[in-house]
Amino acid sequence: MNNKLKNIEIKIVGMHCAVCASNVEKSLKSLDGVLNASVNISSNNAVVEYNDKLVSFEKINKAIESLGFDVVFDEVQLQIDGMHCAVCVANIEKVLNGLNGVKKAIVNLSLQRVHVFYNKNLVSIKDMGEAIESLGFDYIGVAEEIDLSADDERFRKDLKDKRNRIIVGFISSAVLMAIMYLPIENLVSIPFSHHMSMDIHIIGILSLLISIGPFIYVSKPILDGGYKSISHKILDMDVMYSMGILVAFISSTLGTFNIVLDSHFMFYETAIMLASFLSLGRYLESRAKNQTLNSIKQLIGLQPKTATLLIENKEEELDLSKEFDGKNNEIDSFNEKYFEKTIFIEEIAIGDILLVKPGEKIPADGIVINGDSYVDESMISGEPIPKHKNKEKNKVFSGTINQNGILYIKSIKVGRETLLSQIIDLVSKAQGSKPPVQSLADKVVKFFIPTVFIIAILSGLFWYLFNGDKLFALSTVISVLVIACPCALGLATPTAVTVGVGRAAEYGVLIKNGEVLENAGKTKIAIFDKTGTITEGKPEISDIYPVDDNLKFYYPIFIKNQRIMENSNLDSSLNSSLDSSLGSSLDSNLNSNDLNDFLLMITGSLESKSNHPIAKTIVKECQNLKINLFDLDSFENISGKGLKAIYKNKQIIVGNKKILDDENIKISDDLLERYLKLSNEGKTTILIAIENDVLGIIALMDKIKDNAKYTMDSLKSLDIEPMMITGDNNKTAIEVGKKVGIENIISEVLPNEKLDHLINIKTKFSNSIKKDNGNNIIITFVGDGINDAPAISGADVGIALGSGSDIAMDSGDIVLTDDNLENVVVAIEFSKKVIRRIKENIFWAFAYNMILIPIACGILYPIFGIVFRPEYGALAMALSSVTVISLSLLLKNFKPKIKKDENKTY
């Protein structure tokens, strides 16, 4: 009994409180076979002890997911060799999905790779590799651990081998055709040549001797594949092709010796030509598939191999405080204070100081601590114009290219943590995913080969019984076996996804999976956050309006408290004298600048505890003016309203009108009028109060992005309605909406309410649309990926705008590596284009089989006398796969419409 017990640790996402943990425990313990379940809310882990004979791992996962939580799985991409068609894909997915501990396995035929979601406590990578090899395929290893150069070398070697077999096959086929069909007694002067034209038996034996070596050499990979498949009880294309070429060769041999069949069945050249055309198809297919990987290879190629490390001289401290312009004031490499050392990229540690010379690739994500240059960041943003970098604009990313000056950077992210590595990983995973549109092809593939076998046999029997021509009947059997091709069905989706996702990445658009790729193009409503999405997210203070009397009243109290704190080591009598004299001396000397600074000091002290862009602006202004902020006794963030704090028993409030109303703080008519006026101008307006007294107003203006209106107009041209949801006040939101062309606006929304509004919008519009066509509406939400995380996660398609290394890679279904709002439209255009290309590929794959299989059966023979020879069927099969791949490769040249207008103005 104990041997059946297992302990497993499961990572859960979505639990927020002890009640959530309790509900998960209760649900798990209710399962028959679960002995114990313990959930840790702090680590978001569940430890389950269960009997795997009574309850499955899948059932445990479903119990958790039924409560609305998500189970987090480990992920790995495995490299495979030997897959040729959609049947291979289906068989590998079936065996891996059958392993205990595997949640889902998705195979990409064009990449020869499988993406597995699994629990490492139940199943190992070794187990998966063995399962793959048990089907007769070659397991190469974990994809990300495979050396790219070794992979390229393996590809070149395989291509060379295929090419050699093709050459041998066609040359030997030509020789055999000459022997069979040309009057060789006129061509070859040998004593017995005249007997050859008379004795077909001698020609047959000669053809057998000439063909047997080339046949084995050319056909061996196909026959080996067929043998492995049969030995593992799998019907795939290798089995069909093996049967086709073996039937042709064995029939020829039997005909040569008049065993059952006569000399009319000698078509050795057809047997070899079949194998040659099949090899040619795989050769062309391999070359084309390799081209689909160019985008990911280019990304990998961006990774630098070495870096220049600056090492401090032990006798003298490295000093980079002196300013350099990157051109004329370069640091001497032989300076006594440091020396340079070339190291491999893997040796870089966080905090290392690195030297990047003009033309070199930046080796790690970091910040510029000195120097001045332009950096080509087109590989992450898709924008061709180099960006200026210095100590002020200091973020740089691995793989980008330094242009014309020297930069000294401090590494902050290295190895797999760099933005480039994350992009490579994200693109690679996306290329291995399947959009739902592929589901029809997957269903067909399950029945394809058995159906083709039945059609081939029935066709042969029909013609044999109909006209008694065994040769014609046998030819139709061979033709059907070699012409039927699920390869094109298997390649229709992965090749388009691979090329399309890679091309989108070149524009800074990272699409995470196939379902999102399909849904994005169906978007009917695009909802935008305001701050940092439609606007720059870098507000500037535009107005300060102090209430002089109130500020003058509190000024000496706060300054006095600070003074006493600074002189806390003095005795109480001295503090008392300071206390009594300070008020009158300060009050009489205050001017407007003092009052403004005091208002900023109070506001900045609270805002310093917040991460909101507005808070950062106010704190930065205090730093610029060298205003000292005070330490608060307590602090509270009231979501969507403002901030509350206690300082020296005084309550301070900073926020919008809502928070003052909640505290019953009255605003004078004059101040309220000014507050509304500033709000109507589209400015973010902050009220500051101590106790029940309002001290003043600070207004900020957040600049609207230059291309915001152009983006909204472009969405409308795609029949997509833009909307806006924001926590800002209604007046500001409406003003911004007018400027960018958004009419539907929901304002003054708390962050946790955005998802509720999104759901309400979806319900409202979906109900109306269902009346027309029965379909749900697809809603895309666009935000900064941090504050808008719930809405981004809850939308049908969540798009997260990133800003370099701070990008929230996990928050969105689509991640834009730059803050370029146009890329929202780029993502949607790519979705439409790629899904349309997939549908075209699937159509041609189906059309090919539906048209040519009946022709191979001889359906045109009675009326038109047209016969589809087996070797031509093999050629058609080869061309079908190449056609599908070639159509997918056209996506490499796709340029979104929004990017085509070189002269657009904002």
Residue 381 has a pLDDT of 67
Q: The domain spanning residue 383 has which CATH number? A: 2.70.150.10
337 occurs within a structural domain: no
Mark whether 161 and 271 lie in a shared domain.
Answer: yes
Instruction: Please give the Cα distance from 742 to 415 (Å, whole number).
Output: 42
- CA 759 to chain centroid, in Å, comes to 25
What gap in Å lies between CA 369 and CA 321, rounded to an integer? 8
pLDDT of residue 716: 95
Q: What is the mean pLDDT of residues 228-240?
A: 80
What pLDDT shows up at residue 418?
85
| pLDDT at residue 382 in the model | 65
Same-domain pairing of 780 and 799: yes
Between CA 525 and CA 828 the distance in angstroms is 12
Evaluate whether 439 touches 106 at the Cβ level (below 8 Å): no
**What is the CB neighbour count within 10 angstroms for residue 140?**
20
Please indicate, yes or no, whether residues 112 and 243 belong to a single structural domain of this protein: no
Residues 102 and 62 in one domain: no
Q: Which of 780, 812, 844 delimits the end of a domain?
A: 812
Q: What is the mean pLDDT of residues 533-561?
A: 84
What pLDDT score does 740 carry? 94
Same domain, yes or no, for 275 and 171?
yes
Q: Which residues contact 436 (CB under 8 A, 6 or more apart)?
A: 514, 515, 518
Least Cα distance to 550 among 605, 590, 607 occurs for 590
* pLDDT of 566: 38
Q: Residue 263 — pLDDT band, cuts 50, 70, 90?
A: confident
Q: What pLDDT does residue 565 have? A: 36
**CA-to-CA dists, residue 216 to 212, 224, 239, angstroms:** 6, 11, 16
Whole-angstrom distance, CA of residue 671 vs CA of residue 435: 56
C-alpha angle with apex 778: 774 to 782, nearest 5 degrees? 165
- Strand 721-725 and strand 523-528: pairing? parallel
Spatial distance between the Cα atoms of 374 and 537, rounded to a whole number of angstroms: 24
Residue 291 has pLDDT above 50, yes or no: yes
Q: Would residue 49 count as lying in a domain?
A: yes
Mean pLDDT of 1-10: 72
Residue 841 placed within a domain? no
Q: Where residue 727 falls among pLDDT bands split at 50, 70, 90?
A: confident
For the beta sheet containing 387-389, the strands, ordered from the edge strand earlier in sequence to the opposite edge, are 387-389, 373-376, 401-402
CA angle 69, 75, 81 (to 5 degrees): 145
Contact partners, residue 582, CB within 8 Å, separation at least 6: 556, 559, 560, 563
Residue 731: pLDDT band with limits 50, 70, 90 = confident
Residue 190 CB partners (closer than 8 Å, separation 6+): none
CA–CA separation, 666 and 829 (whole Å): 51
Q: What is the pLDDT of residues 635-672, one digit of tens each?
A: 888 877 889 999 888 999 999 888 999 999 999 999 99
Q: Is residue 104 a part of any domain in this protein? A: yes
Model confidence pLDDT, tens digit, residues 461-496: 999 898 888 888 888 988 888 888 777 777 888 888
3-state SS string over 660-724? Answer: HHHCCCCCCHHHHHHHHHHHHCCCEEEEEEECCEEEEEEEEECCECCCHHHHHHHHHHCCCEEEE
Same structural domain, 694 and 546: yes
Domain boundary among 687, 703, 719: 703
Q: What is the pLDDT of residue 209?
A: 92
Q: How far is CA 704 from the centre of its chain?
A: 28
Name residues whose C-beta falls within 8 Å of residue 391's C-beta, 6 or more positions apart in sequence.
Answer: 368, 369, 370
DSSP code of residue 612 = S
- Which CATH number do you get for residue 25? 3.30.70.100
Q: Which two tokens stand for residue 143?
A: 């994809």
Exposure string for 533-544, b = 16+ CB within 10 A, e = fewer: bbbbbebebeeb
Residue that is written with structure tokens 């609305």 in the block: 68
For residue 459, the model assigns a pLDDT of 93
- pLDDT winner (highest mean) among 70-84, 226-240, 335-349: 70-84
Encode pLDDT of 425-460 as tens digits: 777 777 777 788 777 777 777 788 889 889 999 999
What's the pLDDT score for residue 649?
A: 87
Q: For the ranges 147-151, 177-181, 300-304, which has the lowest average pLDDT?
A: 147-151
Question: What is the per-residue pLDDT for 772?
Answer: 45
Same structural domain for residues 779 and 789? yes
- The CATH number of the domain holding residue 731 is 3.40.50.1000
Where on the phi/psi map is residue 415: left (φ > 0), alpha (ψ -120 to 50), or beta?
Answer: left
Distance CA 374, CA 408 (A): 13
Check residues 189 and 319 and name the one with the higher pLDDT.
319
> What does the alpha-carbon distance between residue 26 and residue 23 come to, in Å, rounded to a whole number?
5
Contact of 687 with 675, CB cutoff 8 Å = yes
Q: Is residue 77 predicted with pLDDT exceeding 70?
A: yes
Active site residue 238: no
Q: DSSP for 122-136?
A: T--HHHHHHHHHTTT
Gap between the Cα atoms of 236 and 871, Å rounded: 20
Give yes or no: residues 159 and 53 share one domain.
no
Do residues 108 and 460 make contact, with C-beta atoms less than 8 angstroms apart? no
pLDDT computed for residue 687 by the predictor: 94
- 730, two tokens: 């209604």
Helix residue ranges, H only, 36-108: 57-65, 86-97
Range of lowest pLDDT (339-343, 348-352, 571-575, 745-749): 571-575
Q: Across the chain, what does the average pLDDT equal?
A: 82
Do the domain assignments include residue 164? Answer: yes
Please list the alpha-helical segments (H only) found in 293-344. 294-301
What single letter denotes the amino acid at residue 461? L
pLDDT of residue 378: 77
* Angle, helices 148-181/200-231, rounded to nearest 10 degrees: 150
pLDDT at 120 over 60: yes
| Phi, psi dihedrals of residue 479, rounded to the nearest 5° | -60, -45
Instruction: Give yes or no for residue 906 having a pLDDT over 80.
Output: no
> In terms of C-beta density within 10 A (0-12 exposed, 13-18 middle, 19 or more buried), how is residue 127 classed?
middle
Choose, from 238, 352, 372, 529, the residue flagged as catalytic: 529
Q: pLDDT-based confidence at 768, cuts 50/70/90?
A: low
- Cα–Cα distance for residue pair 406/324, rounded to 1 Å: 9
pLDDT score for 481: 85
Question: Is the residue at 491 inside a domain?
Answer: no
Q: Does the pLDDT of residue 327 top 60, yes or no? A: no
Count how many domains the chain has.
6
Q: What percent of the chain shows pLDDT beyond 70?
A: 87
pLDDT above 70: residue 45:
yes
Query: In this structure, are residues 798 and 814 in contact, taking their beta carbons and an 8 Å threshold?
Result: yes
Three-state DSSP state, 235: coil
Confidence of residue 337 (pLDDT cuts 50, 70, 90): low
Q: 226 is in which domain, residue-wise? A: 151-185+199-299+436-484
Whether 66 shows a pLDDT value over 70: the answer reads yes
- pLDDT: is 291 or 215 the higher one? 215
Q: CA 879 from chain center: how many Å?
A: 31
Q: Is the confidence at residue 787, as pLDDT, over 80?
A: no
pTM above 0.85, yes or no: no
Task: Choose the final residue of a domain: 23, 42, 71.
Answer: 71
| pLDDT for the residue numbered 774 | 47
The verdict on 443 and 463 lying in the same domain is yes
How many angstroms separate the most distant Cα atoms in the chain? 137
Contact (CB, 8 A) for 366 and 409: yes
Same domain, yes or no: 521 and 542: no
Residues 595, 552 contacting (CB under 8 angstroms)? yes
Across the range 846-856, mean pLDDT stands at 90
Specify whether 555 is located in the same domain as 699. Answer: yes
Residues 67 and 87 reside in one and the same domain: no
CATH number at residue 628: 3.40.1110.10
Question: What percentage of the chain exceeds 90 in pLDDT?
Answer: 25
pLDDT above 60 for 771: no
Position 393 pLDDT exceeds 90: no
> What is the C-alpha to C-alpha distance for residues 724 and 734, in angstroms, rounded to an integer?
10
Query: Tokens 């425990």, residue?
Result: 25
Q: Please report whether residue 641 resides in a domain.
A: yes
In a domain, 871, yes or no: no
Q: How confident is the model at residue 571 (pLDDT cuts 50, 70, 90)?
A: very low
Q: What is the pLDDT of residue 196?
A: 40
List CB contacts of 73: < 8 A, sequence separation 6 or more: 103, 117, 118, 119
